Amino acid sequence: MTVTLTIDDNQIIAEEGLTILEVAKRSEITIPTLCHIAGTVSENPCEICVVQISDPARHGLKSSLSTEGLFRACVTLARDGMDIHTNSDDVVAHRQERLATLSQTHFGDCKAPCNLTCPGQINVQGYIAHVAKGEYEEALRLIMDRNPVPFSVGRVCPRFCETRCRRILIDEPVSINHLKRFVADWCMANNIDLDIPKDKPTGRRIAVIGGGPAGLSAAFFLTRKGHDVTIFESEPKLGGALRYGFPEYKVPKEILDYEINAILKMGINIRLSQRWGEDFSLQDLRDMGYDATFIAVGAGIDQPMDVPCTDKDHVYTATQFLHLINEGKPLELGKRAAVIGGNNIAMEVARSLRRKGVEQVTVIYPRARIEMPANQRNIKEAEKEGVQFLLMASPVGICGLSENDSRLKLDLIRMKLGEPDKRGKREPLPIPDSTNSLSVDTVVSSLGQLAVDGLVRGGELEEAIKISPKGMFVANPRSSQTSVDGVFAGGDAATGSKSVIQAVVSARRAANNIHSYVMDVPKAPADSRFNFTRGKSFDDVALKNFDGIDVKLREKMPERPPEVCVQDFDEVKLGFTEKMARREADRCLSCGCTAFDRCDLKRLDIDYKVNINKTGMGKIPWYPIDSDHRAIRVDRN
């Protein structure tokens, strides 16, 4: 026997005895469900599969739902002559209401807080799970899906992710970044051929100006999409800030070379010692047949000290000094040095000075230590290596000395913090009649960096590029494109000095935009920001969630003693052993949902535009833990 019915104006002949949901499925008509399992009837139905039946009384039906005319498709039998609508206004409104109700009691982390805090949106929980199982190559591949320079990032990252590791609420955060470094180093030590897959060739050519972290990352992502990429680098070697900005005790050259070669093996072309504005221009690149250009020159121009200076032979800027150090150039630095500035680069300068034999290194900063922009870890490491700090002081002049015990006199003035401005920020002000002097042999200033210190040289296209008042290339935050068509910018060149992982993110975004531009296709939709979380804030989590979890402190990174470190530029942190990495990975609480990418509730909330922020978390239920099964412990919390 058969029945004839209509679903969304489609006439269907179906077997008698089937539910509306079964008929729709066989006819390739989608009716959403959450709780339905074939062959069963839910005791607490989700009511997401509701449909609207015209004139239900004709078929002897009476709805038990809040909206008249709506019926659950999973239990209502299809009958002859039925006229069914699966997406009427009443159906959509009912589904939205039910989804909002279900979402109110949905409790958990869709994405782990560490994932959300990472600028790179790397699947932290996923790669740590691989480490815990000894799957190190798989872990590195997962990391490199979004971060192609894990060897370097694993050594210099500020570790945003670790500030929001739920393990903090028990003892200490998981050493996420050290685990990233471990899998990268393990793959290098075991000569793993990553053999990164690429899409088929597109026939499009992209020029990347700059071979630092942003340029290398953009080249990686663009090559992976099948484009023909060439990097134009002004230096004799690739690496940019990773090679010339970080001392070797932070990023060893052997590690960096391996990392760069892993990227170049994808088939990326390189042209070294090519200076933009001297050896080529943007017009030259167009004439060579490049379909788009990505500017990734970094921010390598130091902001000058605005103080009188009569002896410039022994006064350096931070990037100039670190470049000379990384090139191995001989320097006569003397016994005493002053570093002006409190950023991360200033800390690397100070630590490098100690390694070059300078006995007394003093960092001078016009604010309190807590206000220094440098990462507190970097400040502590500098302090352990004998670097001194002179705070609430600012230079007012530098002049040469004729006496033998020192070469320079650095004039300083004491500072105090003024009244708060509209932003609540207190600017340092000089204290009258408080000047004194410091005798030193070398001064290095680290007051921030620019990408451009004026007009870009090269030609008409260069002159048309807009430069911000802060000396950065102006790029549209959505399209990454500059004021010149087909010319894009990213990394520190567009954002100012930020972390390496932030440069990677900027380059990845730009690569996606460049792909859309050269292929003339719409941009891929951004990742949904949909996310449930345990509590309204990171700390708003009931501690009973952590019942049964023992306190287990994080593994301590093996390090060389400070008194030994200052004698050379060898790496300070020695890396985890395999046993340490496995133990550390086992500390991960696996906060995020492993089914996030295939979650039906997430998909339906997005499709039906349910505002989970407006809906709120509602009353959070607490379910008893079921340990009746001898092999399975069921914890629905």
Of 169 and 321, which is predicted with more confidence?
A: 321
By C-alpha distance, which of 136, 177, 149 is closest to 258? 149
Which whole number is the average pLDDT over 421-429? 85
Q: Which two tokens stand for residue 92?
A: 């959509």
Which whole number is the average pLDDT over 397-407? 75
How far is the C-alpha of 230 from the C-alpha of 211, rounded, in Å?
10
pLDDT at 529: 62
How far is the C-alpha of 187 from the C-alpha of 344, rounded, in Å?
29
CATH numbers and ranges of domains, the chain: 1-105+597-637 (3.10.20.740), 113-194+557-586 (1.10.1060.10), 205-301+453-519 (3.50.50.60), 304-447 (3.50.50.60)
Q: Which two tokens stand for residue 269?
A: 């072309």
How far is the C-alpha of 18 from the C-alpha of 597, rounded, in Å?
31
How far is the C-alpha of 462 from the C-alpha of 553, rounded, in Å?
54
Characterize the bridge pairing of strands 336-340 and 360-365: parallel
DSSP 305: P
How far is the C-alpha of 625 from the C-alpha of 617, rounded, in Å?
21
Which whole number is the average pLDDT over 592-616? 78
Comparing 163-172, 191-200, 206-215, 623-632, the range with the smallest average pLDDT is: 623-632
Is the full-model pTM beyond 0.95? no
Q: What is the dihedral of CA 175, 179, 181, 184, to 10 degrees?
A: -170
With tokens 């911000």, the residue in question is 468
Q: Which two tokens stand for residue 335?
A: 């016994």
User: Is residue 378 a contact partner of residue 347, using CB atoms and an 8 Å limit?
Assistant: yes
Mapped onto helix, strand or coil, the DSSP state of residue 365 is strand
Residue 287 carries which side chain, given as an amino acid letter? D
Cα 504 from chain centroid (whole Å): 7
pLDDT at 623: 66
User: Is residue 600 a contact partner of residue 101, using CB atoms and an 8 Å limit?
Assistant: no
Element of type H or E holding 218: helix 213-224
Q: What is the dihedral of CA 422, 427, 431, 436, to 10 degrees?
A: 180
What would you report as the CA-atom Rg of the chain, rounded to the nearest whole angstrom? Answer: 31
Per residue in 227-251, pLDDT (tens digit) is 999 999 999 999 999 999 999 999 9
Q: How confident is the model at residue 593 (pLDDT cuts 50, 70, 90)?
A: confident
First to last CA, the chain: 47
How far is the C-alpha of 582 from the C-alpha of 578, rounded, in Å?
6
Q: What is the dihedral of CA 431, 435, 439, 445, to 10 degrees?
A: 40
Q: Which two tokens stand for residue 14?
A: 């179906």
Q: How confident is the model at residue 556 (pLDDT cuts 50, 70, 90)?
A: very high
How far is the C-alpha of 630 from the C-alpha of 139, rounded, in Å?
32
How far is the C-alpha of 454 from the C-alpha of 466, rounded, in Å?
11
With tokens 């079964």, the residue in question is 22
Q: Which two tokens stand for residue 211?
A: 């071979």
Q: What strands lie across the sheet with 228-232, from one edge to the other? A: 269-271, 228-232, 205-209, 292-295, 487-489
Q: How confident is the model at residue 306 (pLDDT cuts 50, 70, 90)?
A: confident
Given a cut of 80, whether residue 633 has pLDDT beyond it is no
Of 92 and 605, which is predicted with more confidence?
A: 92
Given a cut of 70, whether residue 412 has pLDDT beyond it is yes
Per residue in 64-88, pLDDT (tens digit) is 888 888 999 999 999 999 999 999 9
Q: Categorise residue 205: left if φ over 0, alpha if ψ from -120 to 50, beta otherwise.
A: beta
Which whole number is the average pLDDT over 160-178? 93
Per residue in 429-466, pLDDT (tens digit) is 999 989 999 999 999 999 988 888 877 888 899 999 99
